[in-house]
Amino acid sequence: MSLIAITEVRKRFGAVEVLKGINLDVDRGEVVCIIGRSGSGKSTLLRCVNGLETIDDGSIMVAGAQLVPDAIHLKALRLKVGMIFQQFNLFPHLSAGANVMLSQMVVKKTPKQEAEAMARRMLERVGLAEKFHAYPDQLSGGQQQRVAIARALAMQPLALLCDEITSALDPELVAEVLAVVRELAAEGMTLLMVTHEMRFAREVCDRVVFMHQGRVHEIGPPAELFDHPRTPELRQFLGAHG
């Protein structure tokens, strides 16, 4: 059974249908990258999987449970699925360690000592063991994003959703964040990522989804999509972003 099963999902904002019947299954341990032009619905799809947006039609199952948009189910969902955004969203008045501890203590009710031990382990995992007491404004953008990854990992999610997590970074800081994601992929973490990093998508992901105008336009292994695009829309997209 797939870890994430998206079936015939439709979503509209007012008169505009942004997702027009999306079908996508993500298996445990699979790394799936979503690519596509601005406005094709990539972020909206990820936000639907995390329950940040409700869907108008279709179904989303995570680990066998139907996504139901009420408070109790959303809390359970967020324990299963972590999300990392373009903006790091760290609390500026809290240290890196406290940022990683907070959601564990608030959402999972983890005791402080345990949350701190987990925060130390997760900061070490993203290469920031020595930054436990540093505040966000003392960290580079790449380091802040790695703290955000540590925070998501501390919740021990079954899958991580990543929405253009390197887009707000200076080019020289992109590699350190992608290196962390690469390690997570190698360790077997299930990842569903929207990315503009085509080289990363080619090297790391198992399957690529090309979204176009609210639909899955092409899907397959990276070598297939990047080297043998079947549709003019994907050829044109790759021509502009290759």
User: Would you tell me which residues interact with ligand ATP (CB under 6 A)?
Assistant: 13, 18, 36, 38-44
Find the shortest distance in angstroms from Cβ 168 to ligand ATP.
Answer: 12
Give the residue with the Cβ less far from ligand ATP, 18 or 118.
Answer: 18
> CA angle, corner 2, sides to 191 and 235, nearest 5?
60
Only one residue has tokens 């869907």, namely 55
Find the shortest distance in angstroms from Cβ 163 to ligand ATP.
Answer: 8
Give the residue with the Cβ less far from ligand ATP, 210 or 226.
Answer: 210
Listed in sequence order, the residues at least 6 apart from 227 whose beta carbon sits closer than 8 Å to its beta carbon are none
Give the residue with the Cβ less far from ligand ATP, 132 or 210.
Answer: 210
Give the residue with the Cβ less far from ligand ATP, 36 or 97.
Answer: 36
Give the residue with the Cβ less far from ligand ATP, 96 or 194.
Answer: 194
Find the shortest distance in angstroms from Cβ 241 to ligand ATP.
Answer: 11
Cα distance between residue 44 and residue 39, in whole Å: 9
Listed in sequence order, the residues at least 6 apart from 64 whose beta carbon sits closer than 8 Å to its beta carbon are 1
Q: Give the DSSP per-residue string, 14-32.
A: TTEEEEEEEEEEE-TT-EE
Q: What is the phi/psi pair of residue 81, to 5°?
A: -125, 115
Find the shortest distance in angstroms from Cβ 236 to ligand ATP.
Answer: 16
Find the shortest distance in angstroms from Cβ 111 to ligand ATP.
Answer: 37
